[in-house]
């Protein structure tokens, strides 16, 4: 594996399977009454969050702590960063503190690439702008594999604001690597003009895609997109691209519903669908800790899983 995890596209099939298999082993540990492993004792993991994301930060924090790493949370708000310190100076500060891994969430696409040129430790991308969110894709793949038994040849439909979604980008790359057949469904305004070059199918018609899906992943729609005329109204979006009860009924009986959270209930997904037994939404959160444990464990060179 690379020293960093910045893009899901950097993972080979073997890398990805190693992470998923390691996560399976770690999941068994999580079922014990004492969840903590000594593996990363004495190592320092910095959570460097330039965007508010409590969910992702506590997921990484829990993962690092379960591996006994020391965790430093560095949030941009109220720190030197909000006083105009550059990303480079922040990186050099962390470097001087001896960070073994830096988990970075940043609003600017590519910030983790830049960070990786300034620090010696491993850089883990916890979401950069509208680029990627590779641990989200890994936890999604992990969740799907557990429910569907495997990913090779499985039909995964990703619905929503692909243009601005780092979750979609990472998922398309990772799922293609793992042999799944991905279809993106969105209004044309929310797809990149170059989406034809991506390793997936593209459709504007959710109703046509649903019966052919083993998993349907709904993406969060940001309210501000509406003001920028990507679609006429929330109601129209919901009518054409929302997963409501009627559409849910068109999916194959075993097909699952996913959402990376946080959800807009009633917008892209109906409450009944989100709460149905075929929804993996809560599992995804739990699996997030497990997959991040696996990533930190493998990047920081843990020896064996106890």
Give the residue numbers of the binding site for L-aspartate. Answer: 83, 166, 220
Q: How far apart are CA 3 and CA 230, in angstroms?
A: 38
Q: Say whether residue 227 binds another protein (CB under 8 A).
A: no
* Cβ proximity of 138 and 16 under 8 Å: yes
Count of other CB atoms within 10 angstroms of residue 30: 16
By CB under 8 A, is residue 110 in contact with another protein?
yes
Total count of residues recorded for the chain: 306
Instruction: From 151, 123, 214, 122, select the one nearest 20 (Cα to Cα).
Output: 151
- Helix, strand, or coil (residue 57): helix
- Of 51, 100, 128, 268, the one binding another protein (CB under 8 A) is 128
**Among positions 13, 32, 36, 88, the unique one binding another protein when judged by CB under 8 A:** 88
The reply on whether position 113 binds another protein by CB under 8 A is yes
Binding letters toward another protein, positions 148-167, x by CB under 8 A: ----------------x-x-
Q: Is 51 in the site for another protein (CB under 8 A)?
A: no
Which lies closer to another protein via its Cβ, residue 87 or residue 158? 87
| Shortest separation between residue 166's beta carbon and another protein, angstroms | 6
Angle among Cα 296, 175, 37 to the nearest 5 degrees reads 20
- List Cβ neighbours of 181 (8 Å cut-off, separation of 6 or more): 153, 154, 155, 156, 200, 201
Q: Which of 12, 80, 86, 189 binds another protein (CB under 8 A)?
A: 86
Mode of pairing for the β-strands spanning 201-203 and 181-185:
parallel
Residue 212 in contact with another protein, rule: CB under 8 A: no
Q: Is 87 in the site for another protein (CB under 8 A)?
A: yes
Select 145 or 169, whichever has its Cβ closest to another protein: 169
- Residue 226 sits at φ, ψ, to 5 deg, of -65, -40
Stated as kind and residue range, the H or E segment containing 236 is: helix 234-241
Q: How many residues bind another protein (CB under 8 A)?
A: 27
Q: What CA–CA distance (Å, rounded) separates 222 from 210?
A: 23
Is residue 60 part of the contact set for another protein (CB under 8 A)?
Answer: no
In terms of CB distance, is 96 or 193 closer to another protein?
193
- Closest to another protein by CB, 129 vs 261, is 129
Which x/- pattern over 180-199 shows residues binding another protein (rule: CB under 8 A)? ------------xxxx-xx-
Alpha-carbon span 298 to 249, nearest angstrom:
41
Burial (0-12, 13-18, 19+ Cβ within 10 Å), 82: exposed
Q: Which is nearer to another protein, 79 or 130 (CB)?
A: 130
CA distance 72 to 114: 21
Rounded to whole angstroms, the Cα distance separating 294 from 247 reads 35
Stretch that binds another protein, among 127-135, 253-261, 274-282, 289-297 (CB under 8 A): 127-135
Residues 131-150 interacting with another protein (rule: CB under 8 A)? 131-132
Q: Which residues are annotated as a binding site?
A: 55-56, 83, 105, 133, 136, 166, 220, 261-262
Binding residue positions for carbamoyl phosphate:
55-56, 105, 133, 136, 261-262
Which residues form the interface with another protein (CB under 8 A)? 86-88, 106-111, 113-114, 116-117, 128-132, 164, 166, 169, 192-195, 197-198
């Amino acid at each position: 594996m690379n020293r960093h995890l910045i893009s899901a596209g950097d993972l080979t099939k073997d890398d990805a399977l190693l992470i998923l298999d390691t996560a399976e082993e770690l999941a068994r540990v999580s079922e014990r009454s004492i969840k903590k492993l000594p593996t990363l004792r004495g190592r320092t993991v910095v959570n460097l969050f330039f965007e508010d994301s409590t969910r992702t930060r506590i997921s990484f924090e829990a993962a690092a702590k379960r591996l006994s790493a020391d965790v430093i949370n560095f949030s941009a708000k109220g720190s030197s960063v909000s006083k105009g310190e550059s990303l480079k100076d922040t990186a050099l500060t962390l470097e001087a503190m001896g960070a073994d891994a830096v988990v970075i969430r940043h609003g600017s696409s590519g910030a983790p690439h830049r960070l990786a040129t300034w620090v010696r430790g491993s850089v883990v991308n916890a979401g950069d702008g509208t680029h990627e969110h590779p641990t989200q894709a890994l936890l999604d793949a992990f969740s799907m594999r557990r429910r569907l038994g495997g990913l090779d040849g499985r039909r995964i439909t990703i619905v929503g604001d692909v243009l601005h979604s780092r979750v979609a980008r990472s998922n398309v790359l990772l799922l293609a690597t793992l042999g799944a057949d991905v279809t993106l469904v969105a209004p044309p305004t929310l797809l990149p003009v170059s989406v034809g070059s991506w390793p997936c199918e593209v459709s504007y018609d959710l109703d046509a895609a649903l019966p052919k899906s083993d998993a349907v992943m709904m993406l969060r729609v940001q309210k501000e997109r509406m003001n920028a005329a990507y679609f006429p109204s929330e109601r129209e979006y919901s009518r054409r691209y929302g997963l409501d009860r009627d559409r849910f009924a068109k999916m194959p009986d075993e097909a699952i519903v996913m959402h990376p959270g946080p959800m807009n209930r009633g917008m892209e997904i109906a409450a009944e669908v989100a709460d149905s037994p075929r929804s993996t939404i809560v599992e995804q959160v739990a699996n997030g800790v497990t997959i991040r444990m696996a990533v930190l464990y493998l990047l920081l060179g843990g020896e064996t899983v106890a």
